[in-house]
Amino acid sequence: MSDLLERLRGRGWRMTAQRRVVAEVLDGEHVHLTADEVHARAVAKLPEISRATVYNTLGELVSLGEVLEVATDRRAKRYDPNAHRPHQHLVCARCGAIRDVHPTGNPLSDLPDSERFGFAVSDVEVTYRGICPSCAAA
């Protein structure tokens, strides 16, 4: 995903060492990191990067639609680099592990007009919860 860096440059992003590092962290592991985890990994590559910059950069990536915010629990937001293919999340109720999943059908069509109360409904988030195999084994 050095594509990502290209796209950002194309959108007029000023390229700095800090932004490159944050983008690389997200690119490097296709997991769902919290802001603090992103910060920790970024510090490993660029020790003087600050928390504020990581938050700012993540916020910008979200605004640009390059990264998704995921809030599967009430703890820290997580950042999902898989922003270009619609998907939902499956979360382990015990350990918090998160998987991207692709349900069949369109959940939007399950909400009849009579249940929309005049809202212009544009989006739906689905979070499946259960116990993951390793927690079930333990």
- Interacting span for its own copies (CB under 8 A) from 21-29, 30-38, 46-54, 96-104: 96-104
- Interacting span for its own copies (CB under 8 A) from 6-14, 17-25, 54-62, 91-99: 91-99
CB of 55 to DNA, least distance (A): 4
Residue 92 found at the interface with its own copies (CB under 8 A): yes
Residue 31 found at the interface with its own copies (CB under 8 A): no
52 binds, among DNA, its own copies, none (CB under 5 to 8 A by kind): DNA
CB of 106 to DNA, least distance (A): 29
Contacts 24+ apart (CB under 8 A), 27-34: 27/1, 27/2, 27/81, 30/81, 30/82, 31/98, 32/70, 32/78, 32/79, 32/80, 32/98, 33/78, 33/79, 34/75, 34/76, 34/77, 34/78, 34/79
Residue 28 found at the interface with its own copies (CB under 8 A): no
Residue 95 found at the interface with its own copies (CB under 8 A): no
Q: Whole-angstrom Cα distance, residue 61 to residue 64?
A: 5
> Which positions ≥6 away from 106 have C-beta within 8 Å?
none
Residue 117 found at the interface with its own copies (CB under 8 A): yes
Distance of CA 117 to the CA centre of its chain: 30
102 binds, among its own copies, DNA, none (CB under 5 to 8 A by kind): its own copies
Cβ-contact 39, 51 below 8 angstroms: yes
CB of 3 to its own copies, least distance (A): 26
Binding-site residues from annotation for Zn(2+): 92, 95, 132, 135
